[in-house]
Every structure is written in C-alpha cells, then in structure tokens.
Amino acid sequence: MIEILVYEERLKKQWDTFVSESAKSTFLFHRGFIEYHSDRFKDHSLLFYSKGKLVGLMPGNESDTVYHSHQGLTYGGLMHKKVSASLVLEMFSSMLDYLKEHGFTKIVYKVIPFVFQSSFQQEALYALFINNFKLIRRDLSFVIDLEKTISLSKDRRYRINKSKRNNLIVQESTDFENYMEIVNFNLQSKFKTSPVHSSSELELLHNRFPNNIKLLLVYDEHKTILGGTVLFLDNDFVHTQYLHANDQGRKLNSTEFLVDYLTQHFSSKKYLSFGISTENNGTYLNDGLAKFKEGFGGKGLVHDFYERELND
C-alpha cells in the first residue's frame, strides 16, 4: 500500500537526496530551484512511500481544482528510482485516489523528455496509458546529438566560417543584468513578450546551482557584448536558455560562433538542446525558428502534456 505525504519544509533534505538518486532527476527538481518562484505557484508536491520507504516524488502545484505537474518547471512528472513497473502503476493509482479525495477535478501531467533524464525510464508513460490520460499538448524542441557527426546547412556553415574571421571570443560571465537587457529588448520588439526569468532570478539560481547554470557571453575585440546564452547543464545534456544577439552581434554572426563553440566545448555531453520552437500550446510551429535550429543539425524532440478528468 502506498502512503502519500504533501511536501513541507521538514522534508527538504529527504526530497533533495531522493532527487539526486532518481533515474529521472535533473537539478531543476531540487527544492532550491522549485521554490525560487514560490510566490507564483501554490506548491502541492507529493512524496510516495511503500512500506515506510520513500519510492517516488511528484513536483506539483494546485490551481483552483486542477492539479498540475509543476507549472514552474519546463518538464516534470513522477520521479522514481529503479523500481518495478507494478509499483509505478500503484503510485499512479494512489495519486489519482488522493487527488479525488482532496477535491481535485483534473490533473495535468508533463512528461520529462528522455534526453534530460539521468537514465532511461518510461514506466510512467505506460501508467498514463493504463490510467486513460489524454495527450493535450505536444511542443516540438530541437536537439543536436553531439555523439554523431553534425550536419550543418550550407548557410550555417558559411556563417560559422565567416564569424571566425571577426575576432570574437566566448567567456563565462555573471553579468546577468546587462545580458538580460539584450534578451528583453529582442523579445519585446519581436514578440511583445518578456523573459520567463528576471536577471535577479537567474543570478539567484546561478548562486544556488553554480555548476548547472552558467552565462556565456560573446564579445568583439573591444570587449563589447554582442550576445550570449544562459546554459542549463546536467546529466548528458547542455541546454541553451535565451540564445540571443544584439544588432551588431547579428551582423558579426555571434550566435553561429557561439553554437559552434558549444558543440566543441561540451563535446563530452551527449545532447545540445535548443528548446521549443512551437507556440499556442504546440499548435503552431515557428518555422523560421525551427529552420534556424535545424540548420545547426538539430533534430526534433517532443515535450508532451497529458490530462485526465478526475470525476469519471
């Protein structure tokens, strides 16, 4: 029989230790990351015990009567160690019973794509099928397999070669404030939107996870910032968050220079992830953005969202 506890501060050490040992874990599931924006989400994370032993975690939040696989995380879902498929099914069944008993009418569940997992496990996907979850959203991301020969488009190859003649350099930095001004300007002028993270939030997260969150900037020969990216690193992946350039950076092909640098500098990793290129809950493909990432050798990777009504 599964016992479920709601997360509270006294369970932090137990939670974080389990995350470090979980087959699906990334640093995003540590409480220090989940809670940096605790003012935006009403946390309702769950811990699953079998015979008194912690066997699973579910980062989650509540919104009215809907239970969400945590909305503050890019991906999520049930985390567990190497356990039997039948125990995973038991955890799912217990979770659905718990949510019904506590007045929830729906659960929205995000799957963690396999490239971000510390080891391959898909028992939870089977549990979604068995429990009649419905696929409601599918975002398309792009990932480069760094273990294979990277197939660049003719245009990307030309721009990379051109960028190498511009005396550009890449350096790690902590100047999140100035860089996010570039990001914010680009997003406001092109899409009338703002970054998910503020510069102060990124600085906070970098201080909490210095080995997992890094800022790389591209400079010209006069040490002027041209562009950069915030990197999320863990397991076998390196993920570009906010890959941007200013006007001068675009003229000098700083983004191409940076991506080429990443593929070489992080060749010990297996995957270089660019993030999603879809909008409107996955129903619209930003073709220009997709082609840009495909030009570097990126291949499609889906981020899936499921839901199930709890009153049936």
**How would residue 162 be classed by pLDDT, with cut points 50, 70 and 90?**
very high
**How would residue 21 be classed by pLDDT, with cut points 50, 70 and 90?**
confident
Lowest mean pLDDT among 73-77, 130-134, 302-306: 73-77
What is the separation, in whole angstroms, between the first and last Cα of the chain? 23
**Cβ–Cβ under 8 Å, residues 44 and 97:** no
What is the structure's pLDDT at 117?
86
Strand ranges of the sheet holding 79-80, from the earlier edge strand across to the other edge: 2-6, 46-50, 53-58, 79-80
> Considering all CA atoms of the chain, what is the largest pairwise distance in Å, rounded to the nearest integer?
65
**How would residue 304 be classed by pLDDT, with cut points 50, 70 and 90?**
very high
144-167: average pLDDT: 96
Average pLDDT, the chain: 95
Write the single-letter amino acid at 69.
S
pLDDT for 119 beyond 90: no
Whole-prediction pTM value?
A: 0.93
240-258: average pLDDT: 97
33-60: average pLDDT: 95
What is the structure's pLDDT at 203?
97
**How would residue 12 be classed by pLDDT, with cut points 50, 70 and 90?**
very high
283-300: average pLDDT: 96
What is the structure's pLDDT at 116?
92
- Here the tokens at position 131 are 């429990």
Helix pair 176-191, 199-208: axis angle to 10 deg: 130
pLDDT for 23 beyond 80: no
Question: pLDDT tens digits for 184-242?
Answer: 999 999 888 999 999 999 999 999 999 999 999 999 999 999 999 999 999 999 999 99
Neighbours of 208 (CB within 10 A): 15
Domains and CATH numbers, the chain: 2-131 (3.40.630.30), 143-302 (3.40.630.30)
What is the structure's pLDDT at 236?
94
What is the structure's pLDDT at 281?
93
